[in-house]
Amino acid sequence: MWEDIFQAIDEQYEQMVETRRFLHQYPEVSFHEEKTAQFIVDTYERIGIPYESHVGGNGVLATLKGGRPGKTVALRADFDALPIEELNDVEYKSKNPGAMHACGHDGHTAALLGLAESLLPYKDELPGTIVFVHQHAEEYAPGGAKPIIDSGKLDHVDAVFGTHVWVNAPTGVIQTARGPFMAGADRFEITIQGRGGHGAQPHQTKDAVVIGSQLVTQLQQVVSRRVDPLKTAVLSVGTFESGHTFNIIADSAKLTGTVRTFDPEVQTLIIEEMEKIIKGTCVSSGAEYEFNYEKGYPPVVNHPEEAGLVLDRSQEADPSLSTEEIEPVMAGEDFAYYLLEKPGAFYFTGAQIPEHYYPHHHPKFDFDENALVHAAKTLLQAFRSYQETHS
C-alpha cells in the first residue's frame, strides 16, 4: 500500500505545481488570508474529505480517518504570505501589489493538499487518523498556531509533524535536529525623543539621529560582551527612522529590531541589558525614550524520538533523499507552540535552485518545485513511521 501511495504522490506533481503557482499569484498576508482559506476549503470539498473552517481565525482542519486502528497524527502547513513586492519575472508572479509568497508557504499548502488527495483512495487501508492542519498567520506574531491550539480542535492528536521548504539546502536533502532546532523570535521598538533644531546650530539640540546611532552600535555589545559566549543569541536592529530633510536636526527617532534566543535566562538577560544601555545613552544625552519589548514565538524544540523518525526513515519514502542532522538555526517559527503541547518534529525540505538562489523573505525568492513531492512524501513517511512505532 505505501509504495502505491508514494507513487500516487509522484503522479500528483503537476497538480501540486499548478496549485502552488495559483496560490503564488494571489498571496494574502497574515490574518487576511480569507480567499486562500476558501481555496483550501474548496479543494477539500472537491476531493471529499471532511473539514472545519475558521479554526482559531482563518485556519482549516481536514480529517482523514483510516479504516484500521492507530494513532491520530497532525500534519501542518502554513499559508500566509509576506508584505513584499515581488521582483521575479515569472508567469506566476504575484498579482497582489505589495504581497508575495516569499517564504514557500504556497508550496507547503500545495504539498499538503496533494498528499491529502493521494491518500483518499487508500483510506480504508490506512492505520489511524490524519489531521491536515492548514494554518494561517505564521509570519506575524502572535501567529495562527496558538489560536488553533487554544480552540481545542487538536486535543485528541497524539503527535504533530511539519516541514518547511528550505532554499538553504539542496533539493533532496532533509534537515532537522533532535532537540532545539529554531530560535525563539522576539521584537523590540525604541522611541527616542530629543529636541530638534537648525542643522547649523547643533549645540541647541538633542540630536535623535546621533543618539539612535549610538544605540545601534552599543546594542551590539549585549551579545558580544554580556551574553556567555557558549550561549547562542542574536540582536539585530532592522529599521532606523528619523528626520525629514537635510538641514534640520531630528527631534525623534524610532528603532525596531529582533532578538533570537534558545535559553529563557539569556532572553531575560538581553532584555535587562538593553534597558540599561538605552536608559544610559538617553539620560547622558538629555533625551527621553520608550522601550517596548514583545516576546514572540518560543524556540522550536523537536522531540528526539519524532525527529529521529524523520532522520532515520525519510529515505523509505524516496531512496533519492538524504538526511542531515544540523545545528539549530536562528530563524523563528510558531510551530513551536504545537511542540509544547504534543510530541513531534519540524524539519526542512531542501529546495534550492542553484542558478536562482535568493534567501527566504527576499523579493526574488523562489524554490525548486520538486521539493513539493519530497515534502508530501516525508510527511506521509513521518505519519507511517509514527504509526508503526506506536502500534
CA distances, 388 to each of 1, 68, 70, 72, 163 (Å): 14, 12, 9, 12, 20
Closest CA to 274 of 211, 206, 188: 188
Task: Please check whether residue 200 is in contact with residue 386, taking contact to mean a CB–CB distance below 8 angstroms.
Answer: no
Closest CA to 346 of 54, 133, 33, 71: 133
Distance between CA 126 and CA 149 in Å, rounded? 25
Cα–Cα–Cα angle for 117, 129, 149, nearest 5°?
100
Question: What one-letter code names the amino acid at 193?
Answer: Q
125 annotated as ligand-binding: no
14 carries an active-site annotation: no
103 annotated as ligand-binding: yes
Residue 175: what are its φ and ψ, rounded to 5°? -125, 140
Cell triple for residue 132?
491536515
- Out of 86, 117, 138, 366, the active site residue is 138
Cα–Cα–Cα angle for 355, 369, 335, nearest 5°?
110
Distance between CA 158 and CA 374 in Å, rounded? 24
- Out of 33, 80, 251, 273, the active site residue is 80
Closest CA to 277 of 192, 334, 199: 192
Burial string for 370-382 (b: 16+ CB within 10 Å, else e) reads bbbbbbbbbbbbb
136 annotated as ligand-binding: no
Strand 252-261 and strand 180-182: the pairing is: unpaired
138 carries an active-site annotation: yes
- Helices 105-119 and 2-11 meet at what angle, rounded to 10? 130
Task: Please check whether residue 112 is in contact with residue 146, taking contact to mean a CB–CB distance below 8 angstroms.
Answer: no
Q: Which residues are catalytic?
A: 80, 138
Q: Which residues are annotated as a binding site for Mn(2+)?
A: 103, 105, 139, 164, 361
Q: Which residues are annotated as a binding site?
A: 103, 105, 139, 164, 361
